[in-house]
Each structure stands twice: as C-alpha cells, then as structure tokens.
A and B are shown apart, each in its own frame.
Chain A
C-alpha cells in the first residue's frame, strides 16, 4: 500500500528554491494550492521589515489573466464595477467584480499594459467566469498564472533597493503606475502597488528570471535590511492598512452554497468602486435595487479596546448580537487593536459604539472579555510615503 495522501500535491513557485533556503523556521502554509511560508524567521520582525526597511513577499500564486483583443476594454467594463476607461495605459486599478446578483466574486487589480491589452491579477481562479464573460466580445483570455512570477517588494527602502537593481528613475513612478525594465535581458515590469499601505512595488518577471532576481535583490538589499516576509506578517500589514481579503472578509460569491452568505460591494464598504454611470456591468441591476431597498450588512472597521485581538468575535449592541468579526489583529505600528466586522444594518455607522465579545485562552483557561469598540472611518495605518512622488528617500 502506498501512503501517498489523497490530497493534491501542493505546487511550488518559481522562487521556491530561494524561499526554502531562507525559510529558517520551516513554517509552511497552503496558499491557493502553493507551498508558501507562513513565516521565514519571526512574524513580528518580518512585519517590521515591511514598516521600516524592505519586505519581500512571493506573490506568484496570484492568478494572472491577460485580456487582449479589440473589445478588451469593453469586456472589462462589463466585468468589473468601476469605469475601466479611467485606468490609463501603464496604470493599475483596484477592482471588484460581481455576479448578476450583485454579489462580490473577487477583488483584484487591473493592469493596463497597452492599447486593448490588460492583465487581471486576482486572488481566486476565475477561468470559468472570465470565459463565460467573453460571449459576444472579440477578446482573448490567456491564463498567465504560470508564466508570470511576482514579488512584492514593500517598505521605506524598497525604491532604493530596486533602483540599485537597475530600475532607473523608479522614484518618479506614481502610485498605481507601471514601469518597464529589463532584467538580464528579459522583460521586468514594476508596478507601484501592494497590500501593505506603505511605499512599495510589485515586480513581475518571467519564471526563468525568478531565482536570479531573488538573489540579486537580497544581495543588493542587504545594507537596506531587506527581509523575506511570510503570509502572517503580510496579514498584519494588510489589516492595519485596511485591505480586505477574499475568503476571509467575504466569501467569493461563486463558492458560496448557503443562502445569504454572499456580500455586495456596499456591504463590504466597497461602494466607491461601483460606478452607476456605466450603463452596463455585471450586477448593476441588482445593485441598483439594493441601493433602493437598502443593504443587509455594513462593513465596519473597529477600534477595539485592550490588546486582545477580537478574532472570530461576536459584536454586540447592548445585549443584542449585531455582527461578527472577519479579521482582527493587534497592529504594532499603529499600536491599535483593529477588527473588521460585518454588522447588521442599521448598526455599524462611523462612531457607533459596540462591544466585542472576545474569547481567549491561556493554558487551557478560557476567558470571556467584553471589549468596548468604536467604528472608525479610515484604516488606522496611514503612511504619507504611500502617496508621495518622487518616492521619498529613506
């Protein structure tokens, strides 16, 4: 008898040999079917690399779809809720897309690479939905997930390190801008994007370049305290910076089997991404109806008293349970205890005072804590460096 697991074997990314070599504590996770480190050496130190020097995160498992053809822009405009024409060439736009019921399927970034040439970078696999969406459009969708490797290079010294790597004038690149370089004779694309809320870039190369890119980056960045970061450190940074995560803060509509478990953009605080001036996009009719009738939930960022993360907590208004927490963390830089929650309407407006029912355990001893919390109107971590051009020198 073979003892091979019946689970599918996890895949490795083009950076794996290097990632593995640096993953000192051997703490691995499964991210979308790929072996990826939860942490390399210490979550907190990795987190501080993002905030004070440079953190490098392997984001190759993200799904990448190239959209080309004479209808590429029209296609995307029907697919996503925001106006694609406002994303200029060599610009990136954050976007969400909905099913016909106006429920969020996923979020991601749209890279405008050229005339009728785009790349969608998404968390979920979207081959099926993107293919259905081609009906009636002259457009070709190519899954580039395996042919584009990516590293997030984030933090105050990131621009300096990448400039040393040959990214000339990178400090001139505006947030959400794209610049093209070559690395060892092969194309290398750098976008000023990221999931950390700070100055940061994402570097996109063919898989052949991956190992050399990693090696040079860490070689050149040594003096700038470059560190690899795992998904736990990134998780802290993204909660602090106010980013939602599919499968954590909302369930992708297509994966949901139970009635009522999907969420609309309005219910996720993403109404600003919905552009009703566009005559047609998936979910538009349903979202218009929701606007009229009102939403069921509200997305709330909570500033929770105390230092116990409100993970999986119920949220109370008085004695009544009005919501649940989807993400929570003690945010080291902001020194705040932050939670994202789904709150039943009409509760959860900015300023609303609620209570998080937190359970935590120390040495098998469970404690129930009723922590007062308040709905805040913006992410707790705000770095001016994120928006400055030229990128500030460290």
Chain B
C-alpha cells in the first residue's frame, strides 16, 4: 500500500488543476509545495506594507474554460475583472488602441486597419487549430495508436478546413519570424511592434528570432481556450491559486504547503515517492511533477538515476529568460500623458520599434543591461482597490529584456536598472517618480529562487518548435509520461506549455486516468 495514489510536486495552477481532476475521479492525491500559498506563479504578495501585487503572472487570457466549469472555480471564489483593451503608448501621446478586431490612433491608416482585420481572421483560424491540439495529449508521430490517430485526423481535417491559402500561409509563417510577418502585413511601426511584443513576451527571443510566430500563435489560442479576453483576477493572481486549491481540496486533495520536495525516490528502477525537506518520505503509485523539467530531472531525481541520454536531453533543454517584473507602490493614480483616467485600467504597453526591440535584446545576450525595454503594464488597483491602502495604487509591469544575471552582478545592477526603467516610464508618465512610495524589481534569478523555476523562464523552458508539441519537453518524455517509469509531468514544461492555461495539468490528469496507472 502506498500513502497516496499520486503525489504532485508543486502547487502551481497546473498542479492544482491536475489534482482537481484526479481527486474528482476518486484518486487520492497529495500536493506539496515549498511556497506558503497555492498557485505557483499565480501568486499575490505584499511587496510593501499595505501594497499587494500579482508578483509573477498578472494577466489571465488563456485559461481553459472547460476547467473553470469542471472544477467549479467560480463557486470556489474566482472573480475576473473586465476584458481589457491594449493601449500601446507612443512618445507623442497619439496612443494606439487595440480592441477586439479594431485599431485606432498612432496614425494607422485604413489600409492597416483592413489588414489588421484580415490578420486577426487568419490568426484566429490558426489558433483554433492549435487549440484542438492543445486540448489533447500531443500525438506521437512514430508510434501510432488510435487516440493519436484521432488527434492527427482532427488536425488534418482542421488543416483542410483552413483552405488552401491559409494552409499555405501557416506552413510558411510558422517557420519564419514575427518581424517578417509584420512587415508583410502592415506599414505602421507602432502596430507592428505592439503585435510583435505578444510574440516575444515570456521568451528569450527578439522579433527576428525564429519561433516567434509559434509563440504568438500560442498566446492567440487564448481566444479559443478562455474566451474571456485579457483580464485581471480580483484579489490578484493568487486568488486563482486559492480558488483552484479550494476546488481541489473539496474533491479530496491533500495540500501540504511550506515544505519543499528534496528528492524523487525510486525503488529498483521505478519512481515510487518523494522525500521532503524535513526528511519525511511519502510513497505513491506515481509521482507527477509540475516543477520545470530541469528541476524535476536534474535536481529532484538526479542525473545518476536516469539513462544518460535522458540526462543529456535535460542538459540541452533551454530555459533562459529575459522577463522581469517591476512593482511600484504609488501614493496616487499616476498621470500618463494623453490617457484619460478610465484608460489607465487597461493593458498599457510600451515598446520600441521592432528594430529597437531587437537592439534591446542584444545586451542581454552578453549579460549586460539594456538602455531600452518593453513594458506590459497593469494598474490593478483601479478595478481592485483592495490591493492597496485607500486612494493608493500599484503599478505592475512585465519588463523585457533583462538578463538572468548581468556580469556586473545584481547588487550593482539592480539600482542601475531600476533607474533606467523609471526614466523610460517617465517619458510617458513624467511625474510618476514623485508618487513612488516603494519599488521592487524582480529579475529572472529572483524568479528562479522565489518560484522554483529554472532560469526564471515563463514557460518552464523556451517554447520553440523543437521543444513543443510532440517534442515537449524532449523526445522520450512526451505525453505527460517520462523516460523514468512512474514519473509524470503536469506543469508548463509539458505540452502545450506555459501561461495560465491549465491545460498541461488537465491533459496530464486525463492521460494518467486513461492509462489506468492509478
């Protein structure tokens, strides 16, 4: 007899989704995380007395609606804000607004407006196809069985339904980069870079990097999976974690927080449990890890516990990150030139031209700080005043491109980068500095330490075609099972990847139930 049917490492949103489905199906599940709160990167934290912020993920735009229903997340306290439009701030204050399929401002002409509608239509049909793939386990291309054939057939059918023209486009553009695709479709520079920002967010890539079209489509699946638009979660993203935890616990999941897993343990050649930091050993029929693949295989299982080829694949798995977070505690609502007060609650982005983005990426490659960044800004306290003392506000920004650790070190680098970021912000909000009561800069190495994610990578490993779909995280460990018997994956490092989607967790649970290993 084992202590549990399954032990899940990590209590991120995917782990909790997985636990929810497994316990709903009557299995006994223990979820363990070293963090004090459930949700992993779906977290809310007080970063200055009285000021709370979604300290990692801030936008909910891809969360699969079937999970919301299946696990009754609304009944478990999940509340979403209003869908946001995206406003791309321009130095001359003629800001560009993207709302649904329409765009305005920044001098976009009618040709670009029409092109935008066509572009959205095309992206929508591609993303629809991808969301079909995302909702099932990735098919194996070599070893065909019926489930995989069905998935491939649906994919094939979907490809047919795309029509010849779109199919040709898809085959062509997934291999190229967002820079070229933008230049093919549009002439307005602000429009191009605003869309390109969505293609590089959370990656270690510039607009001209291959794979950026794939990562753009990955985000675009949200339109089909979530159907909520881009929203914030009331109470901060941690409230998503709380509602998932509450749902999972109601189904019978045991949650143990504040204790890390120190090792995945084996009996003979089978994974049979975990050891906690406290030394306590827990046995289970299977272990499911939502920690990133590198943490899972290298740190918890140990390279000496797997065949050498697997260790080699883990070593080759790429998890660099260029994503940082900036958190400001503000004494009042800031002023952004050219924005009305009600527009401040929208998603505000700042990005240089596509060439500028590429230039911003370069220093990071050489472990240097850039003098140019992109910002993806949320002022959550407008919709959710409870996050700050009355009349006060929080500004939270996802910032690119920031190295994992610059050669000058973070002790010297952080104040320098913070100054740099403030001066870039002040171009659009000139007096914001006067309102800042406290500030916090979270760099990739901080995220690695606080959220246990190797490299601080958004997706638990770069989402590029060689590490996606039937190759995620790497050949031999796909379809949620791994090359190590008894060990499964359910986090962002598994198909379909990162972002708050819940699908790795859901798909993993379904696959495990289907295999009948519990």
Chain A residues packing against B (C-beta within 8 Å): 71, 74, 78-79, 99-100, 129, 132-133, 135-137, 279-285
Q: Is the CB of A283 within 8 A of B304?
A: no
Q: Is the CB of A100 within 8 A of B476?
A: yes
Q: Is the CB of A282 within 8 A of B304?
A: no
Find the A residue at minimum CB distance from B311: A135
Would A135 and B307 be within 8 Å (CB), given that A100-B476, A280-B269, A285-B485 are in contact?
no
Given known contacts A137-B303, A279-B269, what 14 new A-B pairs fall within 8 Å (CB)?
A78-B307, A79-B308, A100-B307, A100-B310, A132-B312, A133-B308, A135-B303, A135-B308, A136-B298, A136-B303, A136-B305, A282-B309, A283-B307, A284-B307
Q: Is the CB of B269 within 8 A of A71?
A: no
Q: How far is the CA of A133 from the CA of B309 in the complex (A)?
A: 8
Q: Is the CB of A71 within 8 A of B307?
A: no
Which residues on the B side are within 8 Å of A137 (C-beta)?
303-304
Chain B residues packing against A (C-beta within 8 Å): 266, 268-269, 298, 302-312, 315, 476, 483, 485
Which residues on the B side are within 8 Å of A284 (C-beta)?
269, 307
Total contacts A-B at CB 8 Å: 50
Which residues on the B side are within 8 Å of A74 (C-beta)?
304
CB distance from A133 to the nearest CB of B (A): 5
Q: How far is the CA of A133 from the CA of B311 in the complex (A)?
A: 8
Find the A residue at minimum CB distance from B302: A136
Which residues on the A side are within 8 Å of B309 (C-beta)?
99-100, 282
Which residues on the A side are within 8 Å of B268 (C-beta)?
279
Q: Is the CB of B307 within 8 A of A285?
A: yes
CB distance from A5 to the nearest CB of B (A): 36
Q: Is the CB of A100 within 8 A of B269?
A: no
Which residues on the A side are within 8 Å of B315 (C-beta)?
132, 135
Which residues on the A side are within 8 Å of B305 (C-beta)?
136, 280
Which residues on the A side are within 8 Å of B476 (C-beta)?
100
Which residues on the B side are within 8 Å of A279 (C-beta)?
266, 268-269
Give the one of B298, B308, B315 with max A CB within 10 A: B308
Find the A residue at minimum CB distance from B315: A135
Q: Is the CB of A136 within 8 A of B304?
A: yes
CB distance from A102 to the nearest CB of B (A): 10
CB distance from A65 to the nearest CB of B (A): 15
CB distance from A96 to the nearest CB of B (A): 15
7 closest residue pairs by CB, A with B: A136-B303, A100-B309, A136-B304, A135-B303, A279-B269, A279-B268, A135-B311
CB distance from B271 to the nearest CB of A (A): 12
Q: How far is the CA of A279 from the CA of B304 in the complex (A)?
A: 12
Q: Is the CB of B485 within 8 A of A78?
A: no
Which residues on the A side are within 8 Å of B308 (C-beta)?
78-79, 100, 129, 132-133, 135, 282
CB distance from B246 to the nearest CB of A (A): 39
Which residues on the B side are within 8 Å of A79 (C-beta)?
308
CB distance from A382 to the nearest CB of B (A): 37
Q: List 22 A-B contacts (CB under 8 A).
A: A74-B304, A78-B304, A100-B307, A100-B308, A100-B476, A100-B483, A129-B308, A132-B312, A135-B303, A135-B304, A135-B308, A136-B302, A136-B304, A136-B311, A137-B303, A279-B268, A280-B305, A280-B306, A280-B307, A285-B307, A285-B483, A285-B485
A interface SS class: loop
Which residues on the B side are within 8 Å of A99 (C-beta)?
309
Q: How far is the CA of A282 from the CA of B266 in the complex (A)?
A: 17
Find the A residue at minimum CB distance from B312: A132
Would A135 and B269 be within 8 Å (CB), given that A74-B304, A283-B307, A285-B307 are in contact?
no
CB distance from B363 to the nearest CB of A (A): 31
Which residues on the A side are within 8 Å of B307 (C-beta)?
78, 100, 280-285
Would A135 and B312 be within 8 Å (CB), given that A280-B305, A283-B307, A285-B307 are in contact?
yes
Find the B residue at minimum CB distance from A101: B309
Q: How far is the CA of A280 from the CA of B310 in the complex (A)?
A: 12
Which residues on the A side are within 8 Å of B269 (C-beta)?
279-280, 284
Which residues on the A side are within 8 Å of B483 (C-beta)?
100, 285
Which residues on the A side are within 8 Å of B312 (C-beta)?
132, 135
Q: How far is the CA of A354 from the CA of B310 in the complex (A)?
A: 41
Find the A residue at minimum CB distance from B305: A280
CB distance from A67 to the nearest CB of B (A): 14
CB distance from B78 to the nearest CB of A (A): 41
CB distance from B142 to the nearest CB of A (A): 11
CB distance from A20 to the nearest CB of B (A): 41
Q: How far is the CA of A133 from the CA of B268 in the complex (A)?
A: 20
CB distance from A82 to the nearest CB of B (A): 16
Which residues on the B side are within 8 Å of A280 (C-beta)?
269, 305-307
Which residues on the A side are within 8 Å of B310 (C-beta)?
100
Which residues on the B side are within 8 Å of A129 (C-beta)?
308
Find the B residue at minimum CB distance from A130: B308
CB distance from A139 to the nearest CB of B (A): 10
Which residues on the A side are within 8 Å of B311 (C-beta)?
132, 135-136
Which residues on the A side are within 8 Å of B306 (C-beta)?
280
Q: How far is the CA of A37 from the CA of B362 in the complex (A)?
A: 56
Q: How far is the CA of A267 from the CA of B307 in the complex (A)?
A: 21
Find the A residue at minimum CB distance from B270: A279
Find the B residue at minimum CB distance from A132: B312
Give the one of A74, A100, A132, A282 with max B CB within 10 A: A100
Find the B residue at minimum CB distance from A74: B304
Q: How far is the CA of A135 from the CA of B302 in the complex (A)?
A: 9
Find the B residue at minimum CB distance from A75: B304
Q: How far is the CA of A301 from the CA of B281 in the complex (A)?
A: 52
Which residues on the A side are within 8 Å of B298 (C-beta)?
136
Which residues on the B side are within 8 Å of A132 (C-beta)?
308, 311-312, 315
Which residues on the A side are within 8 Å of B485 (C-beta)?
285
Q: How far is the CA of A279 from the CA of B486 in the complex (A)?
A: 14
Give the one of B266, B268, B269, B310 with max A CB within 10 A: B269
Q: How far is the CA of A137 from the CA of B298 in the complex (A)?
A: 12
Q: How far is the CA of A4 from the CA of B307 in the complex (A)?
A: 44
Q: How far is the CA of A285 from the CA of B315 in the complex (A)?
A: 20
CB distance from B485 to the nearest CB of A (A): 7
Find the A residue at minimum CB distance from B314: A135
Which residues on the B side are within 8 Å of A78 (C-beta)?
304, 307-308
Q: How far is the CA of A135 from the CA of B306 in the complex (A)?
A: 10
CB distance from A41 to the nearest CB of B (A): 45
Q: How far is the CA of A161 from the CA of B268 in the complex (A)?
A: 49
Q: How far is the CA of A259 from the CA of B312 in the complex (A)?
A: 21
Q: How far is the CA of A353 from the CA of B305 in the complex (A)?
A: 45
Find the B residue at minimum CB distance from A99: B309
Q: How far is the CA of A160 from the CA of B263 in the complex (A)?
A: 57
Give the one of A99, A133, A283 with max B CB within 10 A: A133
CB distance from A349 to the nearest CB of B (A): 29
Q: How far is the CA of A283 from the CA of B310 in the complex (A)?
A: 11
Find the A residue at minimum CB distance from B313: A100
Q: How far is the CA of A282 from the CA of B312 in the complex (A)?
A: 12
Which residues on the B side are within 8 Å of A133 (C-beta)?
308
Which residues on the B side are within 8 Å of A100 (C-beta)?
307-310, 476, 483
CB distance from A106 to the nearest CB of B (A): 14
Find the B residue at minimum CB distance from A133: B308
Give the one of B298, B303, B309, B315 with max A CB within 10 A: B309
Q: How far is the CA of A262 from the CA of B457 in the complex (A)?
A: 38
Q: How far is the CA of A185 from the CA of B304 in the complex (A)?
A: 40
